[in-house]
Amino acid sequence: MSSGVPRVRAPLAHATLTLAALAVEAVVGYPDRLHRRLPHPVVGLGALISEGERRLNRSDRSPRASRLSGIATVAATAGVAALAGLAASRLPGPASVLAATLGLAQRSLCDHVSAVAKALEADDLPAARAAVGMIVGRDTAGLDASGVATAAIESLAESFNDGVVAPAFWLALAGLPGLYAYKAVNTADSLIGHREPRWKDFGWAAARTDDLMNLAPARFAGVLIAMAGGGGWKTMLRDARRHASPNAGWPEAAMAGALGVRLGGPVAYDGVMTDRPVFGDGPAPTVADLKQALNIYVRATGLLWAAFATLSFRGGREWRR
């Protein structure tokens, strides 16, 4: 005898909200006029993390004490973010959808990478370097056109996970609290999750937590890119684990294989050359490859929408039983 309770709920509970947020964010993004008046909430998360680092990451502390301080900083920031998400989840439907768009970056990522492609098409290398410098951390002043295209494609592939797939995954799985907590951890990783001596111990918790929260989404992102690009599976499975990150290599290697180009290799950060693994076997990317990468990104995003539409439909049917 059925109790009337749906058999499957948790993985589907927030699929409709996720699909709606993806659609709205793709249209409106976070408008520049709004950003000038009201900075994006991630800016506030960054300020909170930076303040924690300023107060707690002291050179006179032992490695163990630094790690504990880093754990406390990440836990406090993620906790505050989750509570904000819990409060936002009680808003009326349309307002909660808008609140969810704050954790997604489909539109802004596409706009930033498109600006790089347009500058390269116009043979305006200084403008292309400036545009790609908005989305990458490497030195851009000495990059040629191929180096700019490479940087943009790598950022597009990696950010497809960090800014789109992973936030959508955590939103669908745990609602707005899960989405906001993920954004807090991901922001902490970008600010303090580094291997340099200053952050090695203090940023350990941020880096490891971010790795854990991206394990499933990053691999899903790679699959979506390979599907959207009509290939790249072999390169992804062969090269993904070469990356220093346990996650970033999956979408990057998939994109390299789908495009038939070579990504990775040595780059400079703050004037210091860093040797990185190579993904793919093809030539260095061109502006044409960058434009194709944007097309793959749009198709991969469409596949992500389709996945959540399917989950939403199945969830609706389950609840009607």
Tens of pLDDT, residue by residue over 291-318, are: 999 999 999 999 999 999 998 877 654 4
Question: Quick check: is 269 in a domain?
Answer: yes
Q: Taking a C-beta distance cutoff of 8 angstroms, is the pair 168, 304 a contact?
A: yes
Q: Would the pTM of this model clear 0.95, i.e. be above it?
A: no
Q: Are the beta carbons of 300 and 259 closer than 8 angstroms?
A: no
CB 74 within 8 A of CB 205: yes
Q: Total structural domains in the chain?
A: 1
Range of the domain at 311: 15-320
Answer whether residue 138 is part of any domain: yes
Closest CA to 70 of 178, 170, 185, 162: 185
For 10-39, the pLDDT digits (tens) are 455 689 999 999 999 999 887 666 555 656
Residue 6 lies in a domain: no
**Could you tell me the CA-to-CA distances from 47 to 73, 125, 133, 214 in Å, in that order?**
12, 33, 21, 23
Tell me the angle at which helices 93-101 and 166-192 cross, rounded to the nearest 10 degrees.
40
Q: What is the pLDDT of residue 3?
A: 45
Structure tokens, 300: 């991969």
Write the CB contacts of 255 (distance below 8 Å, at least 6 apart in sequence): 153, 154, 156, 157, 225, 229, 232, 263, 293, 296
Spatial distance between the Cα atoms of 295 and 35, rounded to a whole number of angstroms: 27
Within a domain: 153: yes
pLDDT at 158: 97
Read off the tokens for 184: 């807090």
- Residue 38's pLDDT is 57
Does some domain include residue 290? Answer: yes
The per-residue pLDDT for range 79-98, each reduced to its tens digit, is 999 999 999 999 988 999 99
5: in domain: no
